[in-house]
Structure formats: structure tokens, C-alpha cells
């Protein structure tokens, strides 16, 4: 006899480093589609890479993109400060016809990704969180140092997208 259990919809946190590669915007479209079909619940986006102003613009872009995809309530926050390896490369930001449209629509709260993570993880009661990394692990690594592995007890799956460089 089959057990009739209600399927839990996974909660997804996204790390993004929006730049000239299409992987970030493509992941937003895919995630919006999955959310439209009630397969996931997008909980927030943390933008990484570059100085604070670049991370803030990335957050505005992410928030604006999600608004245009029908998800204006998704929180997008800039990641925290970190030691840069290649400042020129890490500060590279997308500049195309969508940039002003998404940034204008994407006003974001100027808060740190680490604070957002801490607040969000306090609300999680069971192991049902998916982490999608489409960026370096900077903020997540800092959060792990602060909290130890307690966050991992609430994470069901970690997904890595995009380019993975061996030196990172």
C-alpha cells in the first residue's frame, strides 16, 4: 500500500554574479518557470562578485529581472565584502539594453547577504532548502564560518551552475 504523503515544495536560495554570460538570466527564467508550476518556492537572491556598488547593481538587476518575470516580491540583496583576487574581472558588470530596464524596476534593500541568510535560516523548520550557486561561494563561505555546519542540517540539496574555476 502506497503512502499518501504531501510533497514538500523545495525552497530555493540563489547566488548570482550577473555579468555578460547568459547563465544568470537563464537561471532566473528557468526558476520562474519552475515556480509558476509550483515545483519550487524562490526565497531570495544574493548577488556576489565585485565592490559593493557592483554587487548592489547586480541585486537591482536580479530584482528587476524577477519582477519582469512576475515575481516582484523576491528579495535580492548584495553579498558581503571579501578579498578580491582579480578586481578587473570581478567588477565586470553586464551593460546591455536590459540593464537600465531591470535596474530601474529593481530597487533593492541595501542589506548584506549574510544578514539575509541568518534571518531566513531562522525561519526554516525542516530540511527542505535548495541552494543554487551561479556565483562564487563568498557569502555562503562566510556564513558557514560563523554558524558552523548548522545551516547544512536544513539544506536538502546544493546545485552548482555556471563556470567553476579551479583557483576559487
Q: Which residue has the higher pLDDT, 108 or 134?
A: 134
Which grid coordinates are listed for 22? 547568459
Nearest to 45 by CA among 81, 72, 82: 72
Q: What are the structural domain ranges in the chain?
A: 11-160
pTM, two decimal places: 0.80
Looking at the predicted structure, is the pLDDT value of residue 167 above 60? no
Nearest to 45 by CA among 31, 36, 54, 87: 31
Domain range 11-160, CATH architecture: Alpha-Beta Complex (3.90)
pLDDT digits (tens, 9 = 90+) for 2-27: 555 677 899 999 999 888 788 888 99
Helix (H) / strand (E) containing 88: helix 87-90
What is the predicted pLDDT for the residue at 123? 87
Highest mean predicted confidence (pLDDT) among 26-30, 33-37, 43-47, 143-147: 33-37
What is the predicted pLDDT for the residue at 168? 47
What is the predicted pLDDT for the residue at 163? 60
Which grid coordinates are listed for 145? 564560518
What is the predicted pLDDT for the residue at 4? 56
pLDDT digits (tens, 9 = 90+) for 73-105: 998 998 877 766 666 666 666 666 666 666 666
What is the predicted pLDDT for the residue at 165? 55
What is the predicted pLDDT for the residue at 88? 62
User: Helix or strand or coil: residue 114?
Assistant: helix
Amino acid at each position: 500500500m502506497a503512502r499518501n504523503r504531501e510533497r514538500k515544495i523545495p525552497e530555493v536560495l540563489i547566488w548570482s554574479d550577473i555579468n555578460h554570460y547568459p547563465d544568470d538570466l537563464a537561471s532566473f527564467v528557468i526558476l520562474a518557470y519552475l515556480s509558476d508550476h509550483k515545483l519550487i518556492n524562490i526565497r531570495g537572491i544574493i548577488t556576489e562578485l565585485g565592490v559593493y556598488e557592483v554587487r548592489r547593481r547586480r541585486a537591482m538587476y536580479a530584482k528587476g529581472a524577477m519582477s519582469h518575470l512576475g515575481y516582484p516580491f523576491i528579495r535580492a540583496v548584495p553579498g558581503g565584502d571579501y578579498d578580491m583576487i582579480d578586481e578587473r574581472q570581478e567588477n565586470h558588470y553586464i551593460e546591455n539594453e536590459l540593464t537600465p530596464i531591470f535596474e530601474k524596476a529593481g530597487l533593492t534593500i541595501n542589506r548584506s547577504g549574510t544578514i539575509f541568510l541568518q534571518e531566513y535560516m531562522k525561519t526554516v523548520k525542516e530540511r527542505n532548502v535548495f541552494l543554487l550557486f551561479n556565483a562564487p561561494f563568498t557569502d555562503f563561505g562566510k556564513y558557514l564560518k560563523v554558524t558552523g555546519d548548522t545551516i547544512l542540517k536544513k539544506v536538502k540539496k546544493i546545485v552548482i551552475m555556471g563556470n567553476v574555476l579551479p583557483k576559487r
